[in-house]
C-alpha cells in the first residue's frame, strides 16, 4: 500500500488490534473484573450475559479452591475447578460456542478468594461516513 496508511483501530495494540477488528467486524475491548474481584462461599456472578463476548479468562489468585460454571448453583461437584494460586478457565468462542456469552458464576472454598476475570467483548464497527 503506497501513500497514506490505513486507519488503526487502536494505537496501543497496533497490528494485533487491526487483525482482531478485521476478524470480528469491529474493535475488541478487554474488560477486567467487570463484576467482581473476589469469590466467596456463596455463588456470585463473575460474567453477566453478553452475546458480544468472544472470549474470557478467570484466574484464581487465592490459596483456596474456586469453582466456575455457567449456572448459579455452581459447587465443588458441579463446575470447573480452578486450582489454588493460578488455576484458570479460558473460554473461546471457537471451542466453547454460546457458553462464552452466558452468565458465569464462581464459588470458593473460603470467603474473600481473590480472582482475576477478563472478558474480550466485540464492539460494533463505526458507521461509515455519509457520502458527500
78-129 pLDDT per residue, tens: 999 999 999 999 999 999 999 999 999 999 999 999 999 999 999 876 667 6
Q: Which three cell numbers stand for residue 93?
A: 468462542
Give CA–CA dist 115/88, Å, rounded. 9
- pLDDT at position 5 is 46
Confidence class for position 2, pLDDT limits 50, 70, 90: very low
39-56 pLDDT per residue, tens: 999 999 999 999 999 999
71 close to 61: Cβ distance less than 8 angstroms? no
Confidence class for position 12, pLDDT limits 50, 70, 90: low
pTM value is: 0.84
Write the CB contacts of 57 (distance below 8 Å, at least 6 apart in sequence).
88, 89, 90, 91, 116, 117, 118
Domains of the chain: 28-122 (2.60.120)
Amino acid at each position: 500500500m503506497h501513500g497514506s496508511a490505513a486507519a488503526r483501530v487502536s494505537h496501543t495494540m497496533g497490528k494485533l488490534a487491526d487483525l482482531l477488528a478485521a476478524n470480528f467486524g469491529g474493535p475488541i475491548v478487554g474488560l477486567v473484573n467487570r463484576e467482581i474481584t473476589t469469590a466467596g462461599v456463596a455463588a456470585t456472578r463473575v460474567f453477566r450475559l453478553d452475546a458480544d463476548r468472544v472470549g474470557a479468562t478467570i484466574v484464581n489468585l487465592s490459596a483456596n479452591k474456586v469453582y466456575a460454571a455457567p449456572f448459579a448453583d455452581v459447587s465443588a461437584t458441579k463446575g470447573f475447578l480452578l486450582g489454588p494460586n493460578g488455576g484458570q478457565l479460558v473460554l473461546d468462542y471457537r471451542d466453547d460456542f454460546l457458553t462464552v456469552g452466558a452468565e458465569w458464576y464462581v464459588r470458593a472454598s473460603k470467603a474473600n478468594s481473590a480472582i482475576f476475570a477478563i472478558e474480550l467483548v466485540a464492539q460494533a464497527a463505526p458507521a461509515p461516513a455519509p457520502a458527500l
